[in-house]
Amino acid sequence: MPQGMIVKALSGYYYVKPAASQAEAQGGYVQCRGRGIFKKRGITPLVGDEVLYTPTENGEGTVDEILPRETELIRPPIANARQAVLLFSVREPDMNLQLLDKFLVHIEHAGLKPLICLTKEDLLLEDQDEENTESLAQIKQLYEDIGYTVIVTSSLTGTGTEEVMRHLAGEISVFAGQSGVGKSSLLNRMLGLSLETSEISLKLGRGRHTTRHVELIELENGGYVADTPGFSQLDYLELGVEELSQCFREFVKYAENCKFRGCSHLHEPGCKVRAAAELGQIAASRYEHYVQFQDEMKEKKRRY
């Protein structure tokens, strides 16, 4: 049975890209329906799934089997993504570290590898404000010290785009960030397309409100990108208190030595995480956001 990857889901169809070794399909994809039994068993094939399929007589196909998933995201519904590219603009909209940390929690929890892009660098250089340029360097340093990869980009000048491209090679990445931070522009630049941002949006599946549409964009280097606004809808309901602190990866080595097991790192005596924050070993902003997220979680859980 031929194998392939679902690269697009639209109106009940799954578009399967056959594995390289297999017979070429019309237009590069085989338009498939899911097997009837999937529905009965509550199985939904996802974009990114590696599948076995059977070609049918009309040139279409049936997805028969979904191979085991490495990762699975609910919002956006994508399987086997390994990396999340987090975009935050230095301007327009202004940098929001609280939101950045919130995205990171979500990404860590989903088991994806985060790649942080600080976009629109040119807007900072333009007004030659040294203070702002300095603070950009500080933010980069802050997250690099935690162990994240941070790339400063500009889709206008091309800064950083090749470096981002290299990180996308050979795997499925989801692009995430508030609207307006420059996701389409960066993708546009990487794809070497010269379409208008609005046209790109259409190509990327935005602005189509009639159907739920998820699609992977294939890059030259074998990478796949999902540009999905859905990723910004963060939800803490499924996170526990301990899980939240594990999602702040630099807390972990301190948390091991807290006096109490299951320490929430808020008020307990002998808390090494709080001590590290007080000593500046953990960035003040990170600890502050942790406390805020704890509050938000409690608030949410009360309401549901």
With binding defined as CB under 5 A, does residue 150 bind Zn ion? no
In angstroms, the CA 20 to CA 53 distance is: 15
| Residue 283's binding partner out of Zn ion, ligand GDP, none, with CB under 5 to 8 Å set by partner kind | none
With binding defined as CB under 6 A, does residue 286 bind ligand GDP? no
With binding defined as CB under 6 A, does residue 83 bind ligand GDP? no
* Least distance from ligand GDP to the Cβ atom of residue 185, Å: 3
Residues 6+ apart with CB under 8 A from 167: 83, 85, 115, 149, 151, 173
Candidate residues 22, 98, 197, 233; the one interacting with ligand GDP per rule CB under 6 A: 197
In angstroms, the CA 267 to CA 244 distance is: 16
Nearer to Zn ion, 120 or 289 (CB): 289
Stretch that binds ligand GDP, among 4-12, 46-54, 69-77, 154-162 (CB under 6 A): 154-162
Residue 290 vs residues 86, 100, 236, 283: alpha-carbon distances, Å: 19, 12, 13, 11
| Residue 228's binding partner out of Zn ion, ligand GDP, none, with CB under 5 to 8 Å set by partner kind | none
Contact (CB, 8 A) for 253 and 68: no
In angstroms, the CA 182 to CA 177 distance is: 9
In angstroms, the CA 38 to CA 101 distance is: 37
Q: Which of residues 104-133 bind ligand GDP (CB under 6 A)?
A: 119-120, 122-123
Count CB neighbours of 117 within 10 A.
26
With binding defined as CB under 5 A, does residue 112 bind Zn ion? no
* Least distance from Zn ion to the Cβ atom of residue 248, Å: 12
Nearer to ligand GDP, 6 or 124 (CB): 124
Residue 155, token pair as written in the block: 């889709």
With binding defined as CB under 5 A, does residue 277 bind Zn ion? no
The footprint of Zn ion on this chain (CB under 5 A) covers a number of residues equal to 5
Quickly tell me which residue has 């086997």 as its tokens: 80
Residue 100, token pair as written in the block: 């950045």
Nearer to ligand GDP, 175 or 224 (CB): 175
Contact (CB, 8 A) for 51 and 6: yes
* Least distance from Zn ion to the Cβ atom of residue 264, Å: 7
What is the DSSP code (8-state) at residue 87?
E
Residue 170, token pair as written in the block: 């050979």
Candidate residues 10, 52, 97, 156; the one interacting with ligand GDP per rule CB under 6 A: 156
In angstroms, the CA 28 to CA 120 distance is: 35
Report the candidate in 48, 50, 89, 43 with the shortest Cα–Cα distance to residue 67.
50
| Residue 156's binding partner out of Zn ion, ligand GDP, none, with CB under 5 to 8 Å set by partner kind | ligand GDP
Q: What is the largest CA-CA distance in the chain?
A: 70
| Residue 161's binding partner out of ligand GDP, Zn ion, none, with CB under 5 to 8 Å set by partner kind | none
* Least distance from ligand GDP to the Cβ atom of residue 199, Å: 11
What type of residue is 236?
Answer: Y
With binding defined as CB under 6 A, does residue 180 bind ligand GDP? yes
* Contact track, Zn ion, 61-90, x by CB under 5 A: ------------------------------
Residues at the contact surface with ligand GDP, assessed by CB under 6 A = 119-120, 122-123, 154-156, 177, 179-185, 197
Residues at the contact surface with Zn ion, assessed by CB under 5 A = 258, 263, 265, 271, 273
